[in-house]
Amino acid sequence: MYTIVVKGKPQGPYSLEELKTMDVFPDTFVRKPGMDDYKEAHEIEELRQLLGFITPQHTPQYFASFDQRLMAWAIDYFIISIVYAISLSIAIVFIEDKQLRMILIAGAISLVPLTKLIYNIIGDASKTQGTIGKKLLDIKVTDNYGVRLNVGMSIARNLSKILSNLTFGIGYIYCFFNKKQQCLHDALVGTLVIKDRLI
């Protein structure tokens, strides 16, 4: 027996025979006894067979929200900045020349974004499929099939962020207008940022 969500309200329970006569779509949320959470109909094998839905392109999951991604970015930037700040503080203690100090500080500041880019490339292609910030928020980067990125795809994804930045933020706002919550660089390369389901 399945409970389905219609216009935001649970209805049912219905038998499989009853579901065959109803307007159940691939993205209709359904639940049956023993399930801890609702799933989309196309995620459940018996409903795929019964209603003729195709196998989902990607592993069933929740897509990471923009605020989760932004928080992960902020955590990573903070960690990198702290490492540079500590390193600079130690170096400045042993450097008396003020001009050399200023050059060192300016160089470190300019290296932070480059370090972040390299760190993201390595992190997204790693076993954890993300940086420390993503790991703390329990989100990770995959391709459209839920598979870990290789280094080449990770490089393409992170370099594509330049396009998202050049659009004055529109590339990031784009995630609010597609179902998979992909930013422009994700859509171009074919990647997802996901948060695994609890079940």
**Phi, psi values for residue 55, rounded to 5°:** -65, 135
Given a cut of 70, the residues of the chain with pLDDT beneath it are 54-61, 196-199
Quick one: 72 and 47 in the same domain? no
pLDDT, residue 57, reads 54
6 and 71 share a domain?
no
What whole-number distance in Å separates Cα of residue 163 and Cα of residue 85?
29
DSSP 69-84: HHHHHHHHHHHHHHHH
> Are residue 42 and residue 76 in the same domain, yes or no?
no
Does residue 57 lie within any of the structural domains? Answer: no
Question: Would you state the pLDDT for residue 124?
Answer: 95
pLDDT of residue 58: 53
- Determine which helix (DSSP H) or strand (DSSP E) holds 184, and give its type and residue range: helix 184-189
**Residues 85, 24: one domain?**
no
Residues 152 and 73 in one domain: yes
Tokens (6 digits) for 103: 């050059």
138, 190: one domain: yes
Look up the domain containing 153 and give its range: 62-195
Q: What six digits make up the tokens of 50? A: 């019964």
Bridge partners of 29, per DSSP, are 40
Tell me: do 72 and 12 sit in the same domain: no
* Amino acid 183: pLDDT: 93
Structural domain count of the chain = 2
**pLDDT on residue 36:** 77
> What is the reported pLDDT for 53?
75
Question: Are residues 19 and 75 part of one domain?
Answer: no
Q: Are residues 40 and 66 in the same domain?
A: no
Cβ atoms 2, 16 nearer than 8 A: yes
CB atoms within 10 A of CB 197: 13
Residues 173, 91 share a domain: yes
Q: What's residue 169's pLDDT? A: 80
**Do 138 and 166 sit in the same domain of this protein?**
yes
Tens of pLDDT, residues 40-91: 877 777 787 777 776 655 555 688 989 999 999 999 999 999 998 898 888 8
Asked, for residue 72, whether it belongs to a domain, the answer is yes
Residues 122 and 99 grouped into a single domain: yes
Residue 102 belongs to a domain: yes
